[in-house]
């Protein structure tokens, strides 16, 4: 393997970093824009560039947390509802330095799966860029995201497919939990 290649090293060493490892250190607007510029460089069929992002910082995180808690309380059946889970919905957002709502803008020009795949590529770029500048994060996909359309002011052709939580962190690097690639390849030569 090309161990001196910085891109390949970043791909191999990127890991999920959860909020419990985040520090209080603020992520600068400049670093957020660096991360989003990387996301914007993702491949896109017919140049539809279907990814959209709603960035929550500071008081925005408080509003997002309050909305997630409200949605949880509204949609959870009484027999499954717990006050602790409601509080944790809000806490997840506010334990982050930044939360980014990931939105697919379906153009109608391509099959939806292609727009979704392009947006996922943008998220991977976002993740690698964050990792490369020492910021950790992860892509959360709780069922609550399907109820954020109004809160996010989404258009009819748009869909939220997750929240990406970001923060400076103090977690140690760790080995990937991957089975060997050789188990996933069939050669036809």
At 57, give phi and psi (nearest 5°): -135, 160
Q: Has residue 146 been placed in a domain?
A: yes
Is 45 within a domain? yes
CATH number for the domain harbouring residue 36: 3.40.109.10
Each residue of 17-69: pLDDT tens digit?
888 889 999 999 999 999 999 999 999 999 999 999 999 999 999 999 999 99
Is there a domain that residue 39 lies in?
A: yes
Q: State the total domains in the chain.
A: 1
Could you tell me if residue 36 is inside a domain?
A: yes
Helices 83-94 & 59-75 angle (0-180, nearest 10): 150
pTM: 0.91
For residue 87, is it within any domain? no
- In contact, 154 and 186? CB cutoff 8 Å: no
Residue 178, domain member (yes or no): no
Residue ranges making up the domain that contains 110: 17-54+97-170
Query: Does any domain span residue 165?
Result: yes
pLDDT at 2: 62
Reported confidence tier of residue 84, pLDDT bands at 50, 70, 90: confident
| Number of residues written out for the chain | 189
> In this structure, is residue 189 part of a structural domain?
no
- pLDDT tens digit string along 114-170? 999 999 999 999 999 999 999 999 999 988 999 999 999 999 999 999 999 999 998
The 3-state secondary structure of 21-44 reads HECCCCCCHHHHHHHHHHHHCCCC
């Amino acid at each position: 393997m090309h161990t001196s290649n910085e891109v390949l090293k970043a791909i191999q060493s990127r890991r999920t970093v959860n909020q419990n490892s985040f520090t209080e250190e603020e992520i600068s607007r400049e670093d957020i824009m660096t991360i989003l510029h990387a996301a914007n460089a993702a491949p896109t069929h017919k140049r539809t560039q279907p990814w959209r992002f709603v960035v929550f910082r500071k008081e925005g995180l408080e509003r997002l947390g309050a909305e997630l808690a409200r949605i949880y309380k509204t949609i959870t059946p009484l027999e499954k509802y717990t006050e602790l889970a409601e509080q944790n919905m809000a806490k997840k957002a506010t334990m982050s330095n930044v939360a980014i709502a990931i939105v697919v803008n379906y153009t109608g020009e391509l099959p939806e799966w292609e727009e979704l795949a392009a947006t996922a590529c943008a998220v991977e770029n976002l993740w690698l860029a964050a990792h490369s500048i020492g910021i950790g994060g992860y892509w959360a996909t709780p069922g609550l995201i399907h109820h954020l359309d109004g809160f996010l002011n989404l258009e009819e052709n748009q869909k939220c497919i997750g929240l990406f939580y970001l923060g400076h962190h103090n977690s140690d690097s760790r080995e990937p939990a991957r089975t060997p690639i050789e188990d996933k390849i069939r050669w036809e030569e």
